[in-house]
C-alpha cells in the first residue's frame, strides 16, 4: 500500500525515510521520526554560510534571546547537545564528586550520565504506574544526606508534578535541574515545563519537536548559573577575557551560528509543530482505543503534553518477547518502531559499576519490557497512521 504524500511547500529532508524493496519489506516506509525542514530553514542556514560568521556570531545571541522569550526565562544558553546542557546545568548547580543526584531510571541514558561526568552517582527512583514519570512520593523517601540535586524528567513531554517536586526541594534545601529535553512547550498548571528549577535543559536532535541538527539549551533565571554555563561551554573563558585566557575548567560545547540559524527558523514554527503533533496523538488515541491488548498514554488534565513520541505498551499479560515480536512484524512491513526506553540501571556499564540487577526498580522494568514507540513526527498523516494501526493490530493478532 502506498500512502499519498501530503502537498507542502517544505523541502523534504527525511531522516530514515527512504523507501525499500528488500525481501519481506513493503515498498512504503513509515519512519519512526523525521525532521521538519522547510525551504525557509535552508535559506536561513545558507545566509549564515555566506556571511562567514559561522560560530560565536550574531545568530547565537539572537537564538538565545528568542528562546528565552519563548521559554519564559531570563537566560538561555545554547550548547552543542542536550547532553552538554545536562552536564553544564548539574555542574553549575554544584553536583560534585561523591554526591548523589536523584532521577528516574526510565529515561535516555544521558540524564544519568551527566552525574557520572562529575564523579557523582545517579540515585534512581522507580516510576509512577500511570504517568511513567518518577514517582514523587518515592523520590521524597530516597533523599539522604548524600543527596545534592534533584533531576525530575518530563518523560515523553509529560510534565512532572513540579509543585510537589519543588516543595520537597525547598524543605531539604536542594537545587532542582529539570530534564525538559523531551518537553519543549509543555505546561504544568499554566506554567511552562522548564521554568521551575534552578536550571532546565532542552534538546534539539532531529527527532525532537524542533531541531537544530544537533544542539541543546540551558535555561535559568539565575544570573550566576547563566554566567557559569556560558563560560564552561566556551573552554572556561570569562566575558571580555582573551581567547587564550581561561578562568575555569571548560569544554567545547558551543553551538555554531549555522545551527542557531536553523533553530531560529524552527522556533518561529514551533507552535504549529506542537499542534500537528497533538493532532497526530489524538488520532492514534482514537484509532487504538478499541485495542484491549494495549495500554495507551494516560489522560493529562494539568496542562499540556508536548508530544515528543507516541509510546504504547502491551498489557501485563504479555512479555518482552511478545513486544519484540510486534516490533519485528512492524519492521518487516516497513514501519519504524523502537523500545522506549531501556532501563538505565540495567545498561551493561551501570550494572558493572553499581551492581544493579533485575528487580531493583520493578515498575520501570515491567513497563519498559512492554513499550514500543510508533511512528511520530510533525508531518505524520492520517493515512500514514492507518497503515501503522492496521499493521499493529495484525501483529497483535499473531501473538
The 10s digit of each residue's pLDDT in 175-189 is: 999 999 999 999 999
Distances (CA, A) of 321 to 40, 217, 294, 337, 359: 45, 38, 15, 15, 18
Percent of the chain with pLDDT over 90: 92
294-303 exposure pattern, b = at least 16 Cβ within 10 A, e = fewer? bbebeeeeeb
Measured distance CA(18)–CA(29) in Å, rounded: 7
User: What is the C-alpha radius of gyration for the chain, rounded to an integer number of angstroms?
Assistant: 21
Domains in the chain and their CATH numbers?
39-267 (3.40.640.10), 270-397 (3.90.1150.10)
What mean pLDDT is predicted for residues 121-128? 98
pLDDT of residue 341: 95
Measured distance CA(173)–CA(4) in Å, rounded: 56
pLDDT of residue 13: 37
Question: With 60 as the cut, is the pLDDT of residue 271 above it?
Answer: yes
Measured distance CA(394)–CA(399) in Å, rounded: 9
Closest to 77 in 3D by CA, of 86, 271, 119: 86
pLDDT of residue 28: 54
Sorted by sequence, the CB contacts under 8 Å of residue 20 that are 6+ apart come out as 27, 29, 334
pLDDT tens readout for residues 220-230: 999 999 999 99
pLDDT tens readout for residues 273-323: 999 999 999 999 999 999 999 999 999 999 999 999 999 999 999 999 999
Q: Identify the active-site residue in 208, 348, 357, 393.
A: 208
Q: Is 208 a catalytic residue?
A: yes
Question: With 50 as the cut, is the pLDDT of residue 21 above it?
Answer: no
214 falls in which pLDDT band (50, 70, 90)?
very high
CA triplet 350, 82, 303: central angle to 5 degrees? Answer: 100
Question: With 50 as the cut, is the pLDDT of residue 387 above it?
Answer: yes
377 falls in which pLDDT band (50, 70, 90)?
very high
Measured distance CA(187)–CA(202) in Å, rounded: 14
Sorted by sequence, the CB contacts under 8 Å of residue 342 that are 6+ apart come out as 368
Lowest average pLDDT, out of 13-17, 28-32, 36-40, 336-340, goes to: 13-17
Strand partners, 30: 335
pLDDT of residue 239: 86
Mean pLDDT of the chain: 93
Question: With 60 as the cut, is the pLDDT of residue 9 above it?
Answer: no
Burial of residue 19 (number of CB atoms within 10 Å: 0-12, 13-18, 19+): exposed
Strand ordering across the sheet containing 371-374: 294-295, 310-314, 371-374
**Phi, psi at 333, each rounded to 5°:** -95, 10
Distances (CA, A) of 52 to 46, 258, 356: 10, 10, 50
Q: Residues 211, 35: contact at Cβ < 8 Å?
A: yes
Percent of the chain with pLDDT over 70: 93
Distances (CA, A) of 45 to 1, 14, 216, 264, 289: 36, 17, 17, 10, 42
Question: With 80 as the cut, is the pLDDT of residue 26 above it?
Answer: no
Closest to 112 in 3D by CA, of 61, 149, 141: 149
Measured distance CA(297)–CA(281) in Å, rounded: 9
Question: With 60 as the cut, is the pLDDT of residue 24 above it?
Answer: no
CA 67, 71, 72, 78 torsion: positive or negative?
Answer: negative
Amino acid at each position: 500500500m502506498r500512502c499519498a504524500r501530503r502537498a507542502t511547500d517544505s523541502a523534504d529532508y527525511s531522516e530514515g525515510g527512504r523507501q525499500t524493496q528488500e525481501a519481506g519489506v513493503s515498498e512504503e516506509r513509515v519512519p519512526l521520526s523525521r525532521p521538519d525542514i522547510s525551504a525557509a530553514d535552508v535559506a536561513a542556514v545558507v545566509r549564515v554560510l555566506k556571511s562567514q560568521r559561522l560560530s560565536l556570531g550574531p545568530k547565537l545571541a539572537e537564538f538565545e534571546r528568542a528562546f528565552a522569550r519563548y521559554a519564559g526565562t531570563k537566560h538561555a544558553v545554547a550548547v552543542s547537545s542536550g547532553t552538554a546542557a545536562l552536564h553544564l546545568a548539574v555542574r553549575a548547580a554544584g553536583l560534585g564528586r561523591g554526591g548523589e543526584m536523584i532521577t528516574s531510571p526510565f529515561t535516555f541514558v544521558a540524564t544519568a550520565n551527566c552525574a557520572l561526568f562529575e564523579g557523582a552517582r545517579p540515585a534512581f527512583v522507580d516510576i509512577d504506574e500511570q504517568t511513567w514519570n518518577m514517582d514523587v512520593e518515592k523520590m521524597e523517601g530516597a533523599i539522604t544526606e548524600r543527596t545534592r540535586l534533584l533531576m525530575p524528567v518530563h518523560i515523553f513531554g509529560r510534565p512532572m508534578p513540579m509543585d510537589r517536586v519543588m516543595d520537597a526541594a525547598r524543605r531539604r534545601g536542594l537545587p532542582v535541574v529539570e530534564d525538559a529535553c523531551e518537553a519543549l512547550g509543555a505546561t504544568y498548571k499554566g506554567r511552562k515545563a522548564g521554568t521551575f528549577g534552578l536550571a532546565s535543559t532542552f534538546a534539539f536532535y532531529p527527532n525532537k519537536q524542533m531541531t537544530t541538527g544537533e544542539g541543546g539549551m540551558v535555561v535559568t533565571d539565575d544570573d550566576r548559573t547563566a554566567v557559569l554555563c556560558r563560560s564552561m561551554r566556551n573552554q572556561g573563558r570569562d566575558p571580555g577575557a582573551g581567547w587564550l585566557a581561561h578562568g575555569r575548567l571548560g569544554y567545547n560545547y558551543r553551538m555554531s551560528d549555522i545551527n542557531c540559524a536553523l533553530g531560529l527558523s524552527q522556533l518561529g514554527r514551533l507552535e504549529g509543530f506542537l499542534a500537528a503533533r497533538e493532532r497526530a496523538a489524538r488520532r492514534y488515541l482514537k484509532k487504538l482505543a478499541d485495542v484491549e491488548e494495549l495500554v495507551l498514554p494516560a489522560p493529562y488534565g494539568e496542562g499540556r503534553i508536548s508530544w515528543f513520541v507516541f509510546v504504547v505498551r502491551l498489557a501485563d499479560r504479555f512479555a518482552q518477547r511478545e513486544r519484540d515480536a510486534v516490533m519485528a512484524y512492524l519492521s518487516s512491513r516497513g514501519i519504524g518502531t523502537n523500545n522506549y526506553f531501556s532501563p538505565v540501571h540495567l545498561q551493561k556499564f551501570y550494572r558493572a559499576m553499581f551492581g544493579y540487577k533485575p528487580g531493583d526498580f520493578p515498575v520501570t522494568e515491567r513497563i519498559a519490557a512492554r513499550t514500543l514507540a510508533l511512528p511520530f513526527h510533525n508531518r505524520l498523516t492520517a493515512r500514514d497512521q492507518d497503515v501503522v494501526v492496521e499493521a499493529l493490530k495484525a501483529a497483535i493478532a499473531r501473538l
